[in-house]
A = this chain, B = another copy of it.
Amino acid sequence: MKKILKSILLFQILVASLCQAQTTNDDGMPATSNVPGANYPRIHSDLSVTFHFHAPKARSIGLQLDKHYDMERDTNGDWSVTTRPQVFGFHYYWLIIDGEWVNDPTSETFFGVGKETSGIEIPEKGVDFYDVKNVPHGEIRQHLYFSKTTSAWRRIFVYTPPGYDQKTKTRYPVLYLQHGGGEDDRGWVIQGRVNNIMDNLIAEKKAKPMIIVMEKGSATKAGEALQVLPFGGGSRSASTNQFAFMQAFEDVVINDLIPMIDFTYRTLPDRNHRAMAGLSMGGMQTFQITLNHLDKFAYIGGFSGAGGRFGPPGAAPLDISKSYNGVFNDPAAFNKKVKLVWIGVGTAEPKMMHDGIIAFHEALEKARIKHVFYESPGTAHEWQTWRIDLKEFAPLLFQ
């Protein structure tokens, strides 16, 4: 057995010699998004971050975070840079080795922009609504179900609230919650920390206990050519209809997913206990699916999500009277039927996105469609905005 141990240790030394961070007496703390034991990236008290990469053979190393940074090499072949102070929240980042964008081996990876990507969690002092706290915890369940629409098994993640297994007579409302383009069903679990946010809200009695269902948001109808999500990795010819997956996904949600969830979990299976929300592309999907099926949903959330779908080329500003088959044309009926429309956006999102959401909000206002418009101060088109959206949106559901 000693031999086995020796070979384990030898292999370990081999591994340890590859691309590892070094201990220093630097101030700051390793990011919580680092792999266990990795000292870099380190976050300083002013939220600047020091990155480090051992690469004696590289000619140049850059960092792409909020902007491009050149890293500097010391005589040992250790490259490092300290960034300007970062905005709190979760950010994707890349190292650029001799011009090629790659992941930082000291970071956990996160499925974004169609591939696994490095990410860094910048903490906000005193803000812990998305952290694990000493409260009762729900579960995240990885569940497989068969979709007739796609004729294939699909993976979803389902949040069940604390006590779900024990309170076997209790039935729960359901929120269908979608990620954005380039991400997948893992997004809300890993980047979004949906379970922490909900556990904390439920413990504070700010939100009703609910089931949350997270699908992967892309689908290809059985027999049709593979649809790859916008931002998807790999090849996709320019002539592909980027949004052909939208109808297939709508069919999956309405015909396969909702019936399966209501059959499998202890749900309250009616529209008054069913919500849908999504971020960015997932917001676009949410508006399409809910507004086409108001018999199934009473609560609607767009988190930085396109609400106007796609008008004909040149159609600007948004003609709300024609959107979604004219569903907004009878505001009294709409406002009676729909208990919540949520329009969220971060104030630091790219101008085009921010303006687009504002335009949708203003068009709804003009059309006298009741809705909640929420601006998250100082946050961009990224997960911190959507975590805050969920924290503010979930308490308004099922009241």
Q: A102-B102, A233-B105 are in contact. Are A2 and B316 (CB under 8 A)?
A: yes
Using A57-B98, A58-B99, A264-B165 as known contacts, say yes or no to A4 and B234 having CB atoms under 8 A apart: no
A141 at the interface (CB under 8 A from B): yes
Chain B residues, CB < 8 A from A6: 352
Complex alpha-carbon distance, A373 and B22, angstroms: 42
Chain B positions within 8 Å of A134 at CB level? 146
| CB-CB contacts below 8 Å: A196-234 with B | 218, 226, 228-234
Q: Chain B residues with Cβ under 8 A from A12's Cβ?
A: 181-182, 230-231, 242
Bound CA span A182–B318, Å: 53
The answer to whether B235 and A23 touch across the interface, beta carbons within 8 angstroms, is: yes
Q: Are B36 and A356 in contact, with the CB atoms below 8 A? A: no
What are the residues of chain B within 8 A of A107 when measuring CB–CB? 116
Contact of A97 with B102 at beta-carbon distance under 8 Å, contacts A21-B235, A139-B143, A181-B12 already known: yes
Q: Cβ of A308 < 8 Å from any Cβ of B?
A: yes
- A134, closest chain B residue (CB): B146
Contact A318 B1 (CB under 8 A): yes
With A7-B352, A139-B142, A234-B38 in contact, do A2 and B311 touch (Cβ < 8 Å)?
yes
8 closest residue pairs by CB, A with B = A1-B308, A57-B99, A37-B234, A38-B234, A4-B356, A37-B228, A23-B235, A102-B102
A35-B233, A98-B97, A100-B55 known; A359-B1 Cβ under 8 A: yes
A16 contacts across to B, CB distance below 8 A: 236
Q: Which residue of B lies closest to A15 (CB)?
A: B113
The answer to whether B235 touches A22, judged by C-beta atoms less than 8 angstroms apart, is yes
Interface size class of A (residues with CB under 8 A): 35 or more
* A339 is an interface residue with CB less than 8 A from chain B: no
Query: A34 at the A/B interface (Cβ < 8 Å)?
Result: yes
Distance A145 CA – B236 CA, assembled complex (angstroms): 43
Docked Cα-Cα span, A316 to B39, in Å, equals 38
At the interface, is chain A mostly helix, strand, loop or mixed? Answer: loop
Q: Smallest distance from the beta carbon of A34 to chain B beta carbons, Å?
A: 7
Interface: A371 (CB within 8 A): no
Q: Do B102 and A235 have beta carbons less than 8 Å apart? A: no
B114–A15 touching, CB < 8 Å:
yes
15 additional contacts, CB 8 Å, given A5-B310, A34-B234? Answer: A1-B308, A1-B311, A4-B352, A4-B356, A8-B280, A12-B181, A12-B242, A15-B182, A36-B232, A38-B234, A101-B105, A105-B115, A140-B141, A140-B142, A144-B195
Return the chain B residue nearest A7 by Cβ: B352
Residues in B whose Cβ lies below 8 Å from that of A226: 37
A57 / chain B contacts, CB cutoff of 8 Å: 98-100
Nearest CB on B from A257, distance (A): 15
B59 near A233: Cβ-Cβ < 8 Å: no
Interface residues of A in 237-259 (CB under 8 A from B): 237, 242
Establish whether residues B139 and A141, one from each chain, have CB atoms under 8 Å apart when the complex forms: yes
* Nearest chain B CB to A398 CB, angstrom units: 22
CA A100 to CA B360, docked complex, whole Å = 48
Q: Are A144 and B153 in contact (CB under 8 A)?
A: no
